[in-house]
Structure formats: structure tokens, C-alpha cells
Amino acid sequence: MKENVHPNYKEVKVACACGETFVTSSTREKIHVDICSKCHPFYTGKQKIMDAEGRVEKFKKKYAAKK
């Protein structure tokens, strides 16, 4: 293998806008993110399905009859 080709990975602290921090490996010095698993709506259970023109109800009605 060639020498000095691969980047050096080191442990870095990832900081979220909500205040959560955790450690991971990266080639960067610091990582700042806007959303993490502690504040993302999908993981917190606060996700809302946006219904545009009744598509969700139409889907539920169409496939509810097949049960």
C-alpha cells in the first residue's frame, strides 16, 4: 500500500444546536450539526404527516378496503 495516502482519523466531539454532544471519529477537528437524534422529529415521535390535497386519506381509503 502507498504511504501517506489515507487521512488521519481522530476522535472528535460533535455538538448539536440543541446542546447534545457525542464523540465520533472523523478527519475534521470539530463538527457542529443543526439536528441530532435527540431533537429530530422522526426520533422524538413528534413527526407530522403533511397532507397535501387529501392524499393521505385517499391512500388509506384505497388500501383499507383490501384488508
Number of Cβ within a 10 Å radius of residue 58: 11
The total of structural domains in the chain comes to 1
Query: Domain for residue 29, yes or no?
Result: yes
What is the predicted pLDDT for the residue at 47?
Answer: 67
Cell of 40: 429530530
Q: Which residues contact 47 (CB under 8 A, 6 or more apart)?
A: 41
Query: Domain for residue 5, yes or no?
Result: no
Query: Model-level pTM?
Result: 0.53
pLDDT, tens digit, for every residue of 13-63? 999 988 889 999 999 999 998 888 888 777 677 766 666 677 777 888 888
Query: Domain for residue 52, yes or no?
Result: yes
Query: Band of the pLDDT at 12, cuts 50, 70, 90?
Result: very high
Query: Band of the pLDDT at 66, cuts 50, 70, 90?
Result: low
Domain range for 58: 10-64
Strand order of the β-sheet with 31-33 is 21-26, 10-16, 31-33
Query: Domain for residue 2, yes or no?
Result: no
CATH of the domain at 36: 4.10.80.400
